């Protein structure tokens, strides 16, 4: 087990270094002058030269790369001249809203999607299967921003306009983000989760159906175990591998920031920050958000791999 | 004026209500040549208001952050309304377009040659900081510091000379701008409550310039060269103080208990809510959870709300003293827009009727530079009729008979993007291949004020003050062809500049209106720009703010909005 974890950790570091190098290369690939790009479009020429000297952008690329990694190791992700703050503090300020949204969305998608998938697998062609399939087609076909606005309209605005009751707040009703304001969290989390529900239902259906054809299921049935127990206690546990893998990937992806959802709901997370960085051509901030997003994806994968190794000993041999 | 602000078509702030401006145009500016104190407006500046109008919280929506709270560098439709909560200027506008004293106790004494303005300051005005605690009294030294500071070249993190162009008329401004003097020699504190300002040449618009938020008076010990630091901990004499500012979320302004102006401000608290889409803001206003938005309604909401009996009465409407126009970079070597025939071809190729349809009728066609409500508007100025064949002919005669490719920059407002796309389609017909690039307003400001960065820009220009010189000097004069200046075209006609200086020295605007009409025709012959449309302003507001009206200069005069709970 120790060797397995060490190997996974090693690969995680390799991926991070590779992505960091690639984002660094961005400074050279991006059109124009990297010093100007980092200083921001509003900077005057003297200031651009100052940034160039401070960051060593007038030195050979290899030297610059070494200096860049030197700064990364000390936690220095650069300075956003556009937002007038260190990138690390900007990203750190957006972490909690993004983490909360990611966990809530993942929880909703799995809590609805997995049971729906199990029900669909137990009776292929039955009501649960049909709901899952039609729902999946519908939700996956609609863009997230449209779902978001439809939900805001139906669940937040109309109840208030028609009935005078504030069922759920319209985004912006409470402009200050509050981690305990679960009502404000619900709509963005649900919007983000809906596609996930459809996806997890389909994934669960497939893997559970697959497991149901294994010999141990036949054995369990012949021992007289009730069907519900077989599916929930034995089949689902064996089927959880791919589902957890996917959950890990999703969590990592969500933690990197969900751009569209965060914009539609004015959610002050990393996705919104990345969007602002792209729009304002803020290269330091963009590199910082990409690195953080990568870090989350790598970490999430690592954690999932390790959990899987505990759940299923065969994984460790791979 | 405010390119920036204007640029934000959404906020439309500068918009001056046409009707009001037209009615008041002759009386808009005090006459600088008159000597002796102008009639004191101190007592009549603001109608006194019953205390019952005061109190409550006004919630204001914006689709992004406020760029800055430092009046030396803010110049856009989001920063100005926020800055006006924190600071005062020497003079300001009444409810219309008439200049009245503000921090000045009375209108200034102006020397017979129109060069020297002497201001008596209102005694006992306090600077307040966090908590609304009084810090100290305002003095004449603060005026000298503030008006010089905005022209300094060493403001950090980035230099923003946007206000400088207006204030270079002050004697000694060039030395400040060059970094060789800290204070302009033309601004003298005679005693703690008297300040004298000397100009290089007479300027009919000088009091209008002082009334812009650039002219806000700030204390030296708080407002240094670090604009970010001052914006984070602002100190001013304005009707509010800043309680908190959470980036991308909310800023809260609380009533200044020391405020000197009777009856103001109206609301006890003003809250700026950042980063909500225009659609969410409209929903919040419908539900009375937000009072007003600095953004224009989205196209969809405009179509729905303006026809909905339940909501249409809550849309305040006004024409703007502004125009949207296509700027062509004629400065950068090798750029095809250096050729006059190409620029004229562009002017003939754009189908403006179609563009008015694209903006759902929220505007009228602009044939020339001065919009209908600006003094000097000339309805006969229509230099380029829509004629694609003529455009093709001009292109054939130009050095680019086979056309060329270029980029058109505009902001991220949906309608501006749609207009840019319409322009792209029109220019394709005369062989000009256009790529449309939409950027957030702040970013676009940087791009367009960087020489050579943007061959074409589509944006609006909103009046800084109701005077035709404001539609030429800041955007089409030689003096503003500088890095970070707003003459994006690089257009420089030295004779026109000279004639402009002469016209501006004349205190009687009506006497020089024919000159300005001639100027705009001369500019349009050179065609550095293509005027596109004159925008309309629509402001959707809550039921709690039934008396909201669009201010003819500020559009949003937030401290005057009463909230009825």
Domain B21-51+70-232 has CATH 3.40.190.10: yes
Q: What would the pLDDT profile of B477-534 be if each residue is shown by its tens digit?
A: 998 887 667 888 999 999 999 999 999 998 888 899 999 999 999 999 999 999 999 9
| CA–CA dist B145, B187 (Å, integer) | 9
Residues A180, A89 contacting (CB under 8 angstroms): no
Give the per-residue pLDDT at A283.
Answer: 81
pLDDT of amino acid B228: 87
Range(s) of chain B covered by CATH 3.10.105.10: 322-536
Q: Rounded to whole angstroms, how far apart are CA atoms B49 and B54?
A: 8
Return phi, psi of residue B550, to 5°. -80, 125
Which tokens go with B36?
A: 């002796």
Of B160, B246, B290, the CB nearest to A172: B290
Paired tokens of B355: 């563009």
Q: Count chain A–chain B contacts defined by CB atoms under 8 A.
A: 97
Cα separation, A17 vs B136, whole angstroms: 55
Q: Positive or negative, the Cα torsion across A137, A141, A143, A148?
A: negative
Across residues B275-303, what is the average pLDDT?
Answer: 90
> What is the location of CATH 3.40.190.10 in chain B?
21-51+70-232, 242-320+539-560
Tell me B161's DSSP state.
G
SS3 at position B121: strand
CA dist B490 and B331 (Å) reads 5
Number of DSSP helices (H) and strands (E) in chain B, helices first? 18, 20
Query: Rounded distance, CA B183 to CA B143, Å?
Result: 10
- CB-based contact, B273 to chain A, within 8 Å: yes
| Residues of chain A with C-beta less than 8 angstroms from the C-beta of B276 | 171-172, 175, 266
Q: Is B105 on the interface with A (CB under 8 A)?
A: no
Which of the four pLDDT bands, split at 50, 70 and 90, describes residue B200?
very high
Q: What is the pLDDT of residue B381?
A: 96
Closest Cβ–Cβ partner in B275, B287, B483 for A161: B287
DSSP-assigned letters across all residues of B195-238: EEEEBSS--TTHHHHHHSGGG----TTT--SBHHHHHHS--BSS
- Average of pLDDT values for B152-173? 80
pLDDT tens-digit series, residues B450-465: 778 899 999 999 888 9
The pTM score is 0.80
Q: Which of B160, B446, B488 to mutate to test the interface with A (most CBs of A within 10 A)?
A: B446
Pick B249's closest partner by Cβ from A175, A279, A280: A175
Q: B458-478 burial string, b = 16+ CB within 10 Å, else e? A: bbbbbbbbbbbbbbbbbbbbb
Contact A42 B284 (CB under 8 A): no
Q: Which of B95, B73, B122 is nearest to B237 (CA)?
A: B122
Contact across the interface for A266 and B277, Cβ inside 8 Å: yes
The whole-number pLDDT of residue B357 equals 93
Q: In this predicted structure, what is the pLDDT of residue A32?
A: 62
The 3-class secondary structure across B440-507, one letter per residue, is: CHHHHHHHHCCCCCCCEEEEEEECCCCCHHHHCHHHHCHHHCCCCCCCCCCCCCHHHHHHHHHHHHCC
Q: Do A41 and B276 lie within an 8 Å CB cutoff?
A: no
Confidence of residue B24 (pLDDT cuts 50, 70, 90): very low
Topology of domain B242-320+539-560, per CATH? D-Maltodextrin-Binding Protein; domain 2 (3.40.190)
Looking at the predicted structure, is the pLDDT value of residue B80 above 60? Answer: yes
Nearest CA in chain A to B311: A161
- B69's tokens: 């709270």
pLDDT in tens, chain A (318 residues): 788 888 888 988 999 999 889 888 877 776 567 777 677 655 666 777 777 887 777 888 888 888 888 888 888 888 887 777 889 999 999 999 999 999 999 999 999 999 999 999 988 888 888 888 888 888 888 888 899 999 999 999 999 888 888 889 999 888 899 999 999 999 999 999 988 888 899 899 999 999 988 889 889 888 888 888 888 888 988 888 888 888 888 888 888 768 889 999 999 999 989 988 887 777 888 889 988 888 888 888 888 888 878 777 776 655
B381, with CB counted inside 10 A (0-12, 13-18, 19+), is: middle
**Most confident among B122-126, B156-160, B409-413 (mean pLDDT):** B122-126
Among residues B498, B501, B552, B563, which one has the least CA distance to residue B203?
B501
Q: How confident is the model at residue B11 (pLDDT cuts 50, 70, 90)?
A: very low
Residue from B15, B79, B7, B5 nearest B317 by CA: B15
Q: Does B440 touch chain A (CB under 8 A)?
A: yes
Residue B53 class from Cβ within 10 Å (0-12 exposed, 13-18 middle, 19+ buried)?
middle
pLDDT at position B429 is 97
Chain A closest CA to B206's CA: distance in Å? 28
Would you state the structure tokens that stand for residue B463, as one six-digit string? 């009046």
Reading the block at residue B432, the tokens are 């000009």
Task: Annotate B538-563 with b (16+ C-beta within 10 A) or e (fewer).
Answer: bbbbbebbeebebbbbbbbbbbbbbb
What is the token pair recorded at A58? 């007038």
Asked whether B555 and B15 are in contact (CB, 8 A), the reply is yes
The helix or strand, by DSSP H or E, that contains position A40, with its residue range, turns out to be none
Confidence of residue B113 (pLDDT cuts 50, 70, 90): very high
Give the residue-averaged pLDDT of B541-546. Answer: 95
**Which residues of chain A neighbour B298 with C-beta distances below 8 Å?**
none
CA B102 to chain centre: 20
Interface of A with B (CB under 8 A): 39-45, 47, 81-84, 93, 149, 152-153, 156-157, 160-161, 170-173, 175-177, 263-266, 268, 272, 276, 279-281
Q: Within 13 A of B318's CA, how many CA atoms are on the CB side?
A: 27
Nearest residue of chain B to residue A268 (CA atoms): B248
Give the number of other Cβ atoms within 10 Å of residue B198's Cβ: 17
Q: Is B159–A177 a contact, with Cβ atoms under 8 angstroms apart?
A: no
Of B248, B271, B483, the CB nearest to A268: B248
CA distance, residue A177 to nearest chain B CA (Å):
7
- Kindly state the percentage of chain B with pLDDT values over 90: 68
pLDDT, position A162: 85
Task: Spell out which residues of chain A touch residue B228, defining contact as CB-CB under 8 Å.
Answer: 84
Which residues are B118's β-sheet partners?
Answer: B109, B196
Identify which of B438, B379, B70 has the alpha carbon closest to the alpha carbon of residue B219: B70
Residue B330 CB neighbours (<10 A)? 23
Is B284 in contact with A172 (Cβ distance < 8 A)?
yes
CA B142 – CA B350 distance, rounded (Å): 50
**Is the confidence at residue B382, as pLDDT, over 80?**
yes
Query: In chain A, what residues touch B447 (CB-CB under 8 Å)?
Result: 41
A177 CB neighbours in chain B (<8 A) are 249
| Contacts with A294 (C-beta within 8 Å, 6 or more apart), sequence order | A15, A16, A19, A20, A256
What integer pLDDT is reported at residue A305 of this predicted model?
83
Instruction: Point out the least confidently predicted range of A161-175, B57-71, B333-347, B363-377.
Output: A161-175
Measured between beta carbons, the chain B residues lying within 8 angstroms of A153 are 283
Q: Which helix (H) or strand (E) holds A210?
A: helix A182-212
Whether the link from the prior residue into B447 is cis, omega within 30° of 0, is: no
Q: What is the mean pLDDT of residues B385-390?
A: 97
CB contact under 8 A, B484 and A280: no
Q: At what angle do helices A270-279 and A87-122 cross, to 10 degrees?
A: 120
B residues 207-266 lying closer than 8 A (beta carbon) to A: 228, 246-250
What confidence category does residue B290 fall into, taking pLDDT thresholds of 50, 70 and 90?
very high
Mean pLDDT of chain B: 87
Q: Are B522 and B228 in contact (CB under 8 A)?
A: no
Compute how many other C-beta atoms are within 10 angstroms of the C-beta atom of residue B2. 26
Residues 6 or more apart whose Cβ sits within 8 Å of residue B478: B492, B493, B494, B497
- ipTM score for this prediction: 0.80
CA dihedral sign of residues B143, B145, B148, B150: negative
pLDDT of residue B314: 95
B540 vs B548: CA distance, rounded Å: 10
Q: Considering only CB atoms, which chain B residues are within 8 Å of A93?
A: 247
- Sort out which chain A residues have CB atoms less than 8 A from B286's CB and list them: 157, 161
Q: Do B443 and A279 touch (CB under 8 A)?
A: yes
Inter-chain contact A41–B446, Cβ cutoff 8 Å? yes
Which residue, among B330, B292, B364, B327, has the nearest Cα to B461 in the 3D structure? B327
Least confident of A17-21, A205-209, B421-425, B445-449: B445-449
CATH fourth-level superfamily of B322-536: Dipeptide-binding Protein; Domain 3 (3.10.105.10)
DSSP-derived secondary structure letter, A73: H
Q: What is the pLDDT of residue B3?
A: 40
Residue B48 has pLDDT above 50, yes or no: no
pLDDT at A239: 87
Residue with tokens 């190409």: B342
User: Which residues from A are below 8 Å from B435, CB to CB?
Assistant: none
Partner-chain contact B287 A177, CB within 8 Å? no
Q: How confident is the model at residue A43, as a pLDDT?
A: 64
d(C-alpha B220, C-alpha B141), whole Å: 9
Predicted local distance difference test score (pLDDT) of residue A63 = 85
Q: Which of A263, A265, A281 sits opposite B443 (nearest CB)?
A: A281
The answer to whether the CB of B295 falls within 8 A of the CB of B278 is yes
Using pLDDT thresholds of 50, 70 and 90, give the confidence band for residue B29: very low
Set of chain B residues whose Cβ sits within 8 Å of the Cβ of A271: none
Mean pLDDT of B83-87: 98
pLDDT value for B414: 80
Residue B448 in tokens: 């367009």
Question: Is the distance from CB of A167 to CB of A159 less than 8 angstroms?
Answer: yes
What is the per-residue pLDDT for B20? 27
Question: Can you tell me the mean pLDDT for B333-357?
Answer: 96
Neighboring chain A residues of B279 at a CB cutoff of 8 Å: 149
Which range, of A183-187, B57-61, B180-184, B443-447, averages the lowest pLDDT? B443-447
pLDDT in tens, B51-73: 578 999 999 999 888 888 999 98
Per-residue confidence (pLDDT) for residue B161, from 0 to 100: 55
Q: Do B446 and A40 touch (CB under 8 A)?
A: yes
Say if residues B237 and B137 touch (Cβ distance below 8 Å): no
- Identify the pLDDT of residue A65: 86
């Amino acid at each position: 087990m120790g060797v397995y974890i060490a190997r996974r950790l090693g690969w995680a570091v390799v991926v991070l270094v590779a992505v960091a190098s690639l984002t660094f290369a961005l400074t050279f690939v991006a059109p124009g002058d990297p010093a100007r790009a980092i200083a921001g479009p509003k900077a005057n020429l003297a200031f651009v030269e100052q940034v160039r000297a401070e960051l060593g952008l007038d030195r050979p690329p290899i030297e610059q790369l070494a200096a860049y990694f030197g700064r990364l190791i000390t936690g220095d992700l650069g300075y956003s001249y556009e937002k007038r703050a260190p990138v690390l503090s900007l990203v750190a300020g957006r972490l909690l809203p993004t983490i909360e949204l990611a966990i809530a969305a993942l929880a909703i998608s799995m809590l609805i999607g997995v049971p729906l998938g199990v029900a669909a697998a137990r009776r292929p062609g039955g009501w649960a299967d049909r709901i899952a399939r039609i729902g999946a087609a519908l939700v996956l076909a609609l863009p997230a921003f449209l779902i978001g606005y439809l939900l805001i309209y139906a669940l937040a605005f109309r109840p208030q306009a028609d009935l005078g009751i504030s069922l759920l707040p319209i985004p912006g009703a409470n402009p200050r983000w509050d981690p305990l304001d679960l009502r404000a969290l619900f709509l963005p989390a649900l919007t983000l989760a809906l596609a996930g529900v459809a996806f997890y239902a389909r994934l669960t259906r497939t893997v559970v159906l697959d497991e149901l054809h294994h010999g141990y299921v036949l054995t369990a049935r012949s021992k007289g175990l009730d069907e519900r127990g077989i599916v929930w206690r034995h089949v689902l546990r064996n089927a959880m591998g791919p589902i957890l893998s996917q959950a890990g990937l999703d969590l990592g992806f969500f933690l990197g920031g969900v751009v569209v959802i965060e914009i539609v709901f004015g959610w002050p997370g990393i996705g919104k920050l990345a969007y602002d960085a792209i729009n304002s051509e803020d290269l330091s901030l963009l590199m910082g958000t990409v690195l953080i997003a990568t870090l989350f994806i790598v970490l999430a994968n690592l954690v999932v791999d390790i959990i899987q190794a505990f759940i299923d000993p065969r994984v460790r041999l791979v | 004026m405010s390119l920036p602000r204007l640029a934000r078509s959404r906020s439309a702030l500068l918009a001056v209500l046409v009707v009001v401006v037209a009615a008041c145009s002759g009386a808009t500016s005090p006459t600088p040549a008159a000597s002796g104190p102008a009639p004191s407006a101190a007592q009549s500046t603001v109608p006194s208001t019953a205390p019952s109008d005061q109190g409550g919280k006004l919630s204001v929506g914006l689709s992004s952050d406020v760029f800055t709270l430092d009046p030396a560098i803010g110049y856009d439709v989001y920063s100005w309304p926020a800055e006006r909560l924190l600071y005062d200027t020497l003079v300001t506008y009444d409810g219309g377009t008439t200049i009245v004293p503000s921090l000045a106790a009375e209108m200034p004494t102006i020397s017979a040659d129109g060069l020297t303005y002497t201001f008596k300051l209102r005694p006992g005005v306090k600077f307040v900081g966090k908590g609304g605690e009084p810090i100290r009294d305002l003095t004449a030294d603060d005026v000298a510091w503030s008006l010089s500071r905005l022209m300094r070249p060493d403001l950090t993190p980035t230099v923003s000379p946007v206000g400088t162009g207006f204030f270079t008329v002050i004697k000694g401004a060039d030395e400040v701008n060059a970094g060789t003097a800290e204070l302009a020699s033309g601004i003298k504190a005679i005693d703690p409550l008297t300040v004298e300002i000397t100009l290089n040449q007479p300027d009919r618009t000088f009091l209008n310039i002082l009334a812009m938020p650039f002219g806000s008076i700030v204390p030296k010990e708080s407002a240094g060269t670090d604009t970010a630091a001052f914006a984070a901990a602002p100190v001013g004499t304005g009707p509010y103080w800043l309680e908190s500012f959470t980036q991308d979320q909310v800023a809260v302004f609380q009533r200044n208990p020391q405020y000197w102006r009777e009856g103001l401000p109206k609301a006890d608290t003003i809250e700026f809510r950042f980063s909500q889409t225009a659609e969410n803001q409209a929903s919040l206003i419908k539900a009375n959870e937000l009072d007003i938005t600095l953004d224009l309604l989205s196209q969809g909401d405009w179509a729905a709300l303006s026809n909905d009996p339940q909501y249409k009465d809550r849309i305040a409407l006004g024409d703007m003293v502004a125009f949207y126009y296509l700027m062509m970079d004629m400065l950068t070597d090798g750029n095809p827009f250096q050729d006059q025939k190409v620029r004229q071809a562009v002017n003939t190729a754009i189908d403006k009727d179609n563009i008015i349809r694209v903006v759902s009728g929220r505007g009228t066609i602009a044939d020339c530079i001065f919009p209908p409500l600006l003094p000097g508007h000339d309805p006969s100025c229509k230099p380029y009729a829509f004629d694609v064949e003529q455009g093709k002919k001009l292109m054939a005669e130009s050095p680019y008979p086979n056309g060329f490719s270029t980029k058109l920059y505009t902001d991220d407002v949906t309608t501006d993007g749609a207009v840019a796309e319409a322009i792209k389609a029109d220019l394709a017909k005369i062989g000009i291949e256009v790529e449309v690039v939409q950027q957030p307003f702040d970013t676009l400001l940087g791009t367009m004020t960087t020489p050579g960065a943007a061959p074409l820009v589509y944006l609006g220009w909103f009046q800084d003050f109701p005077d035709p010189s404001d539609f030429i000097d800041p955007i089409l004069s030689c003096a503003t062809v500088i890095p970070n200046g707003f003459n994006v075209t690089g257009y420089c006609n030295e004779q026109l500049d000279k004639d402009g200086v002469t016209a501006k020295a004349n205190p009687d605007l009506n006497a020089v209106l024919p000159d300005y009409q001639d100027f705009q025709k001369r500019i349009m012959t050179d065609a550095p720009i293509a005027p596109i449309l004159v925008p309309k302003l629509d402001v959707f507001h809550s039921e709690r703010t039934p008396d909201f009206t669009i201010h003819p200069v500020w559009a949003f005069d937030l401290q005057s909005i009463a909230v009825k709970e």
